[in-house]
């Protein structure tokens, strides 16, 4: 994927990803008088999803003025782009957990056991509870499962690529 930005007919840069992911352009204008913060700018950001790593990319923001014309052009996939000004990987995240792989494996087993029991409880509640109560229980358990992933599982997977289940490889971690 390749995307270029031009302002008033002058090319600024071309952003590119050569694998699966996302490229997005953002044109933002804001006026925050109390903070003395006023701006008009356009920028491109990207997310590249590699097999066991996610890479977030940013290209420079271009300041705009009233009357400027911004052109975004979708380019053919072949060819290079300009280097991003910022790049970070999921493996570098300071929230990644457990340098010790054995402790990481233990946590994954604890979460699996917990989620298995929670899902069994949800299944039983479908038969024993009124429909509206069952929906509340299922929603609450879904929230817990999501939080397990966001705050425990993914931080382990980012640090220990060998523990990532096959079905999650290539997804955003």
Q: How would DSSP label each residue in 21-83?
A: EEEEEEEEEEEEGGGTEEEEEEEEEEEEE-SS-EEEEE---EE--TT--EEEEEE-SSS--PP
* Percentage of residues of the chain with pLDDT beyond 70: 98
Question: Is 70 exceeded by the pLDDT of residue 14?
Answer: yes
pLDDT band at 172 (very low <50, low <70, confident <90, very high): low
pLDDT at residue 163, as a whole number: 92
By C-alpha distance, which of 23, 90, 81, 78 is closest to 50? 90
Mean pLDDT, the chain, whole residue set: 92
pLDDT band at 173 (very low <50, low <70, confident <90, very high): low
Question: Is 90 exceeded by the pLDDT of residue 93?
Answer: no
Question: Is 90 exceeded by the pLDDT of residue 86?
Answer: yes
CB 27 within 8 A of CB 45: no
pLDDT band at 51 (very low <50, low <70, confident <90, very high): confident
Average pLDDT over residues 74-78: 94
74 bridge partner residues: 3
């Amino acid at each position: 994927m390749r995307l270029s930005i031009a302002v008033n007919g002058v090319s600024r840069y071309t952003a590119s990803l050569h694998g699966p992911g996302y490229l997005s352009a953002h044109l933002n204008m804001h006026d925050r008088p109390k903070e003395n913060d006023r701006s008009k700018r356009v920028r491109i950001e990207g997310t590249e999803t590699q097999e066991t790593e996610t890479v977030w990319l940013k290209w420079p923001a271009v300041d705009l003025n009233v009357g400027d014309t911004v052109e975004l052009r979708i380019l053919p996939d072949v060819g290079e782009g300009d280097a991003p000004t910022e790049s970070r990987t999921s493996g570098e995240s300071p929230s990644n957990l457990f340098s010790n792989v054995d402790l990481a494996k233990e946590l994954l087993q604890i979460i699996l056991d917990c989620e298995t029991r929670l899902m069994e409880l949800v299944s039983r509640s479908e038969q024993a509870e009124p429909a509206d109560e069952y929906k509340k229980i299922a929603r609450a358990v879904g929230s817990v499962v999501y939080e397990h992933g966001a705050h425990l599982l993914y931080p382990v997977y980012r640090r220990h690529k060998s523990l990532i289940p096959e079905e999650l490889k290539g997804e955003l971690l």
